[in-house]
Structure 1
Amino acid sequence: MPVLTRQWCGPLVMLAATAILSSTLPAGEVRMKSGFVLRGTPVEMAGLNPTTERQNNRGPIAQTPLWMVDDGVRRFFVGYRQVERPVDRGGQLLQYETFELEHVARSRDMTPASIGAFVSKTEFDEFGRRVVTLATERGPVHIHQGITRLRPDYVKVESTSHRWEYGLDTPTLPADVLGKMLDQASDVTNHRDRKARVVFFLQAEMYRQAREEVAAVRRDFPEDAAWADETDRRIVQFVALRAMNELQRRQDAGQHATAYQFAKSQFPIERVGPEAHDAAREIVAEYEQALSRRERILFLLGMLEVDASDELVPRLRAMRAAVRDELHYENLERLDPFLRAEDDETLSAEQKLALAYSGWLLGSANALVDLKEAVRLWDARFLVLEYLRTNDPSRRNTLHSDLKALEGVSIERIAALVDNLPLPLEAPPLDPGAISTIDVPTKVGETPIRYSIQLPPEYSPQHRYPLLIVMHAEGRTPNYEVAWWGGTADQPGWAQRRGYIVIAPHYAEEKQGKYDYNVAVHTQVLESLRDVRKRFRIDSDRVFLAGHGMGADACFDIGFSHPHVFAGVVPINGFSDRYANYYFENGPDLSWYVVNGERDRNALEENARELNHMMRHGVDVVYCEYKSRGYETYFEELERIFDWMGLHRRATFVREWEAEILRHADADMYWIAPHDLPDKLREPIIWDQPRRRIRAMQMEGKATVGNAVYIRHPGRGTTIWLAPELVDFDERVKVSVNGRVKFTGYLQPSIEALLDDLRVRGDREQLYWARLEY
């Protein structure tokens, strides 16, 4: 698919060379190794705060291990080792159109040092004024605010009653109110002011408003008609290219019907120009070709059955029905060898059918020409699905024996087959965009496990979806948190637009006011993840954990405790406390995007030690601090968070790792699962007990390129899971546990081990081929 870029962005923002009220600031950027870009003013930093600055500079040579990027509203802090060099410090100056608003200040009382959630707030009026109410120990405080400066990127908000100022992203203001503020700050009878307003809206990426301003210039200043026509033409073409990028994102999200209809109807050449028009026609042609290929495939399968042997026809009909039901735009390529063989006269009808039905199960690279062998693979598919669905151990033993008895069904083929399997558990009928609730089956006496879920538009089990697990704040509900990230069916949010499945475990009591560090919360999250993997098509390498308030506290705890599960963690308004104070070196391959307000309680001081250590040691961390703001949801950060998540994947099959644990529930780490752990790990920790020294227990795993496996853990026994990515099964393997050699020889991969792990975790992206017990 063609990918278009915003090639006219530079010329557009400089359209009005005579615009007035311009200001300048460095347009620098920091590009991280993940590809994530932070724009603003980059500054090298010695630490996150004075304490970490002293910790980072104990030697005689001054150190600046961090970068800070200030965009006016927020500061981003990232570690020097995660930054691509050279850093663009903003050698060229970017002009922004700026307008001023005046407000009369009253007495200027001090605002509280810590700013909690707003009790209430009015909307900004046409003069840029509003009133917010804060809850304080002395009761509610009413703070009068006014917008004093309008910029395309952010507006400056100052209190006329208190000492408090900060920035708000300009797109967070209603467009009609922003337009009225510009009316107050500019002279609508002055054509230079009117052109400046056009540039303002362009720089703010508010293109509908920019076109309306252009139309007003054309109407009120006929002498500028040529300028208006050329500007309008460029805006329309630029918007078309921007729409093409959004269309590409919809394709990536599996929303192909939307992409097809949009490309077919929204890009007439006379309106968008030849480049966008041709790209849209290419997309339409590719979709229509895929539809044609689908019909051709089904026709050929039916036609070739006529020439197959009679005893195979009933099986072939059932297999064709399964292919018909599962055939999708994204899996057509599995049948490429079959389509290429259509006119090959050297192949029989049965050989062509074998290419189709084996390629469907194993992928195009593994297609076979032996139809009986292909049929045996379909028998294997049936047995594997039954194995994954049953809870009866004796039934699984029988199914495993049947699998072993199938000729030509190796573990390599089972692993390839797993990648293309239908979902083992039936998913309830859910409407995309709606928020539903699923109860996870549990044994009698076990704690009930429930999660809320929202599917994106055009959900299909043939597309692999990233998963976002969200943890709600105190005073909120799981459904509220899902809607915050994903919107509703009527108003789709960022998760739906980007094609994420969102779930919210019901992890807290209804009136719970803070996170209690209960291991039952970990169980709620991990079991919800395992269940959703089995019912919906999840890309296990793109599972993210996020939350607000006490849910963000849970994110720190769960993320550090199970770093091998997630691609990234996004705590908003959270504290890294208790277990996180000991676990922060666990999972150096796990990525973090942490958001706090500068005046939200004592957030930076609470989090600085762990975040500073992680940044210094090369962990992929972005710390986003909103300047002079307190406890808020920070909805305006959502698009940037999804951009960040789109660049991250889980680190799979980590060959070498170390971890510390304080709880028995945290011992399953990467590819080992210790058992018979010390009783100490089940004892509750009294965190506020004075003079108590808390010591974590050490764990370590290492799989060397020389086929040696070294493990250290505090248990009396352990289960070890190994995969081809960790050891070479064709060579001798040495396994050492706690300093003692437990195995030397050739490991035999096991279909049973692979399926047992898949049945429990539902993780198709990380398959283990061997299980050892010591």
Structure 2
Amino acid sequence: MKVTFSNSDGKRMSSRLREVLAAILLLVFAVSIVGQSALAHAEQLISLRNGMVLRGIYLEVPSMNQNAASAAGESGIQNRPIWVVDDGLRRTYVHRRGMVAAEPRDVPDLHERIEFFQPVPDGGEQVASIGQALGVTPFNEFGRRRLTVRGPSGSPFPILQGITELTAKYAKVEALKTDDSINLDMRIATSSISSDQLRNIFRRNTDPKNVDARLNVVRFFAESERYADARRELVRILDEFPESSDLKPIVGQYVENEASQLLEQAELRRESGQPILARAILDQFPTRVVSRVTQVKVADLIGSMDETQKQIDTVHQRLAELVGELQEPMQNSLGGLVAEIKAELTPATLPRMSDFIRMGGNSTMDSETRVSLAVAGWLLGNGSGETNLKIVLSLIDVRVLVREYLAEQDPGKRQEILERLSSLEGARADYIAKMLPLMKPPLIDAIEVDDSIVADPSVDGMFHVGLDQAGFHAAQAEDLASLPPVSYVVQLPPEYDPNRTYPCVVAMHAAGAVAETQLNWWSGVPQQSFLQQKTSDEQLVNESSADGTAEESAPEVSPTMRLGHSIRHGFIVVAPRWTRGGQGDYEYTMREHDAVLSSLRHAMRHFAIDADRVFIGGHGPGGTAAWDIAISHPDLWAGMISISSRPGKTLQHYNANSKYMPVYIVKGDKDGVPLRDYGGIYDRYMTYDHDAMIVLYRGRGLDFFYEEADRIFEWMKTPGHRRAAPPEDLEVVSMREGDRFFWWLEWGEMLPGLSINPILWNDAERLKAAPVKARVMANNEVIITQAPSDSYTVWLYPQMPLDFKETITVRYRSRRKDFTFDQSVGVMLEDARVRADRERPFWGMVQIP
């Protein structure tokens, strides 16, 4: 807009009139800028069907494939609607119909957007892609750092960067002027910058005498939910600027916010199976410096935990009294199990005793019935309803024999165990199916005596299993065709209890890296002290400032432990070794699949892993491997996380399998231009029948994306992300010999020309996946309509809509076989032993021919 200050006579206007007009124009200009800013920065909350909530600016795009989008613009081709949600740090792609649960809701934008002057080049080469990050220095007081990446020639290439914009969500980090200037706008999460670095940057760039500038820093820390930093800075301002005393109540609000974070941490630890730590936080909570509302919340949580312990004590006392009323032979038979319940009844196992808690005090029921409820609940779980003490005593012996069977290596001895089981009244399939998930891992005792399982002496909860990295490589070098030996490292959460099952991440290391790097990513680098806030009133008062606010402190825990996300959320992390020596990329072979799957089965036999909540994830080639293994064996996983991967080979053909698998893919948008190179593959996941989120970080290349871990754990913990129920209508594809087991259908050798050797992929005459179709019918039939073999095994279990009391028929073309369940448990136990899946054991099997 051009403005001319003149009058009709060509004379200069009075200075007063000029001032008035200038003020009006300035106001109009300011309103215009505010309107444009609101439009540019308006954000929405978008709720997804998987339970996640995205926040940012969204728009619809027709495709993730840049090539397809270009073609659509020229030819008018319409593609599926995809929503991309941009929060300034990353862009998250989801399919609108398949993923979005409700219309977006407007939310206020971030208020603090702080800009810093940096010598950014006016020109320079525009960066299209960035190589693998090799190292990075911390930000100095000028907000600058040096990032070293792998250059085009493979040698290290340093990039000098500086923060030019900072919000509570992201830092805009641009390349600075050098002899070889480049244009690079990179975004990193503000949460990845330490408070010490941020304080140093603000002190250097903020006028200490400018109270408004200092308050902007306070608001920034508060918006970033770094309430301790906000509180400290505000206290300093109040000390240095007494005229700002009207802000003093805000200090108390920040203390409240800190207390709320501490309370959330206690609740998280409790639900993650860490009641001792949760109670320690609550017992030391700063109740004297928080509001009455927070005090009540703390008291309620403590009361809930006390009530749980009271129920445990009541169960112990009442069960002991009732057993004491039984005849002496029964008391002797129950002695071992009663001692076990006394030793192992915890908040995690207490739900098993719900029937006994409800009915144990009912004096109208005889002692035998009430004891039966307690023992049956312990062995079979809540709701078993078994009140026959004779059967319950039999169940104790059944469990002993089942454990022996699952641990026995000798087939002859396993057959003897089956014969002994057949004589026990409680050896019924329905009883054993309920018993298996509640048992401790069958080989838990081997952890103490097996030389191949070694507890790490320096890190609490970490174990080394099998050969080390060098030994694993050497074993494979001797015979590349042989199955690789089991070799992995595992990290258990604090207060690990083998009676409680834990969600698990199978974490795939990058090629050339060691498995331990994955524990560092998922579980955190081992620390010498616990970094959680202290909660003692006395400590808080002693360390508080004059206004009664407090400094951070921490309860004493083991000095050598990991403190990362899996620790806080109560996940087990299993990091298998899967690469050959010198291997630089994922090779799509069954050798690699077996290295991972055998490590998972081994871990499930030794550690308390919930088979319905096992996720697989990885970085770089490990991310590609995780992706391929997930959709090649979708019946095993609750979800897949792939970070900085490069999909190829089978991943271009296995889309039919991917709809059964929740997928979370993370990449940098400077990672080889992913939407040009991989957009066609991503598009196949952007449909209504996929649970898929694809995340592109702005200005990032091959990276580990540590800052995405928090959202990944939120994604894994959503209620819908558990292993999917077995499909009644099975439609999958296969093009490798090893990919021939899907839920309840398995086949033998593939027909000629259908199986492709991944090593000879480029020499294959025909690159096409073989379709597999089978269906569970309403008339107690299973029909195989299309498959790549002449021999099949149909595995049967009650999760399929089949009536095991009636004859089950399996058909393939003109072949038919009938199955009548005879109540035998041999198939069930052998399946649980081989697959190590005690949540969904098969009850029977039918083979064709």
Alignment partner of 1:102 is 2:117: yes
Whole-Å separation in 2 of the counterparts to 1:56 and 1:704: 42
Task: Name 1:259's counterpart in structure 2.
Answer: 278
Match of 1:176 among 176, 193, 196: 196
SS of 1:311 mapped into structure 2: helix
Counterparts in 2 of 1:580 and 1:58: CA distance versus 1, 3 Å: farther
Task: Name 1:326's counterpart in structure 2.
Answer: 344
Task: Name 1:30's counterpart in structure 2.
Answer: 46
SS of 1:665 mapped into structure 2: coil
SS of 1:589 mapped into structure 2: coil
Q: How does 1:241-390 map to 2 (within 5 A)?
A: 241-268=260-287, 270-390=288-408
Identity across the alignment (%): 29
SS of 2:466 mapped into structure 1: strand
Task: Name 1:459's counterpart in structure 2.
Answer: 496
Q: How does 1:276-675 map to 2 (within 5 A)?
A: 276-426=294-444, 428=447, 430=455, 433-439=460-466, 447-487=484-524, 488=526, 489-647=560-718, 648-675=721-748
Whole-Å separation in 2 of the counterparts to 1:474 and 1:676: 31
SS of 1:502 mapped into structure 2: strand
Task: Name 2:800's counterpart in structure 1.
Answer: 726
Counterparts in 2 of 1:358 and 1:183: CA distance versus 1, 3 Å: same
Whole-Å separation in 2 of the counterparts to 1:204 and 1:340: 47
Alignment partner of 1:187 is 2:207: yes
Counterparts in 2 of 1:51 and 1:760: CA distance versus 1, 3 Å: same
Counterparts in 2 of 1:142 and 1:738: CA distance versus 1, 3 Å: same
Task: Name 1:215's counterpart in structure 2.
Answer: 235
Whole-Å separation in 1 of the counterparts to 2:335 and 2:759: 65
SS of 1:166 mapped into structure 2: strand
Match of 2:137 among 122, 130, 136: 122
Whole-Å separation in 2 of the counterparts to 1:343 and 1:500: 37
**1:29 shift after superposition:** 2.5
**1:342 shift after superposition:** 4.6
Whole-Å separation in 1 of the counterparts to 2:128 and 2:428: 65
Match of 1:226 among 238, 246, 261: 246
Alignment partner of 1:696 is 2:769: yes
Unaligned runs of 5+ in 2: 1-33, 449-454, 527-559
**1:42 shift after superposition:** 0.8
**1:241 shift after superposition:** 2.2
Alignment partner of 1:159 is 2:230: no
SS of 1:218 mapped into structure 2: helix
Whole-Å separation in 2 of the counterparts to 1:623 and 1:50: 15
Counterparts in 2 of 1:107 and 1:667: CA distance versus 1, 3 Å: same
> 2:173, 2:188 within 8 Å by CA — same for their partners in 1?
yes
SS of 1:96 mapped into structure 2: coil
Task: Name 1:196's counterpart in structure 2.
Answer: 216
Counterpart amino acid of 2:300?
Answer: E
Range that drifts further, 58-67 or 372-381: 58-67
> 1:42, 1:89 within 8 Å by CA — same for their partners in 2?
no
> 1:26, 1:41 within 8 Å by CA — same for their partners in 2?
yes
Task: Name 1:10's counterpart in structure 2.
Answer: none
TM-score (norm 1): 0.91
Whole-Å separation in 2 of the counterparts to 1:370 and 1:601: 67
Question: Who wins on radius of gyration, i.e. which is larger?
Answer: 2
Task: Name 1:16's counterpart in structure 2.
Answer: none
> 1:574, 1:603 within 8 Å by CA — same for their partners in 2?
no
> 1:154, 1:167 within 8 Å by CA — same for their partners in 2?
yes
SS of 2:665 mapped into structure 1: strand
Whole-Å separation in 1 of the counterparts to 2:441 and 2:72: 50
**1:71 shift after superposition:** 0.9
Task: Name 2:542's counterpart in structure 1.
Answer: none
Whole-Å separation in 2 of the counterparts to 1:108 and 1:57: 30
SS of 2:246 mapped into structure 1: helix
Match of 1:765 among 820, 823, 839: 839
Whole-Å separation in 2 of the counterparts to 1:731 and 1:631: 56
> 1:709, 1:736 within 8 Å by CA — same for their partners in 2?
yes
> 2:211, 2:237 within 8 Å by CA — same for their partners in 1?
yes
> 2:666, 2:696 within 8 Å by CA — same for their partners in 1?
yes
Counterparts in 2 of 1:52 and 1:613: CA distance versus 1, 3 Å: farther
**1:682 shift after superposition:** 5.9
> 1:472, 1:481 within 8 Å by CA — same for their partners in 2?
yes
Whole-Å separation in 1 of the counterparts to 2:674 and 2:498: 41
> 1:128, 1:147 within 8 Å by CA — same for their partners in 2?
yes
> 1:471, 1:504 within 8 Å by CA — same for their partners in 2?
yes
**1:542 shift after superposition:** 0.9
Counterparts in 2 of 1:267 and 1:464: CA distance versus 1, 3 Å: farther
Counterparts in 2 of 1:566 and 1:730: CA distance versus 1, 3 Å: closer
Whole-Å separation in 2 of the counterparts to 1:289 and 1:732: 46
Counterparts in 2 of 1:479 and 1:128: CA distance versus 1, 3 Å: same
Range that drifts further, 604-613 or 664-673: 604-613
> 1:101, 1:184 within 8 Å by CA — same for their partners in 2?
no
Alignment partner of 1:136 is 2:151: yes
CA deviation string 1:603-623 (max 9, x = no partner): 333432222112124211111
> Number of paired residues?
750
SS of 2:191 mapped into structure 1: helix
**1:456 shift after superposition:** 0.8
SS of 1:579 mapped into structure 2: helix
> 2:130, 2:672 within 8 Å by CA — same for their partners in 1?
yes
Counterparts in 2 of 1:362 and 1:118: CA distance versus 1, 3 Å: closer
SS of 2:97 mapped into structure 1: helix
Whole-Å separation in 2 of the counterparts to 1:145 and 1:483: 26
Counterparts in 2 of 1:313 and 1:93: CA distance versus 1, 3 Å: closer
Counterparts in 2 of 1:61 and 1:583: CA distance versus 1, 3 Å: closer
Range that drifts further, 760-769 or 180-189: 180-189
> 1:145, 1:158 within 8 Å by CA — same for their partners in 2?
yes
Whole-Å separation in 2 of the counterparts to 1:262 and 1:37: 29
**1:560 shift after superposition:** 1.7
Across the aligned residues of Structure 1 and Structure 2, the Cα RMSD in angstroms comes to 2.7
Whole-Å separation in 2 of the counterparts to 1:321 and 1:435: 29
**1:317 shift after superposition:** 1.2
> 1:674, 1:718 within 8 Å by CA — same for their partners in 2?
yes
Counterparts in 2 of 1:116 and 1:556: CA distance versus 1, 3 Å: same
Match of 2:825 among 751, 756, 772: 751
SS of 2:103 mapped into structure 1: coil
Counterparts in 2 of 1:104 and 1:607: CA distance versus 1, 3 Å: closer
**1:662 shift after superposition:** 1.3
CA deviation string 1:229-260 (max 9, x = no partner): x2112222222223222222212211111111
Whole-Å separation in 2 of the counterparts to 1:464 and 1:375: 25
Counterpart amino acid of 2:465?
Answer: I
Counterpart amino acid of 2:826?
Answer: E
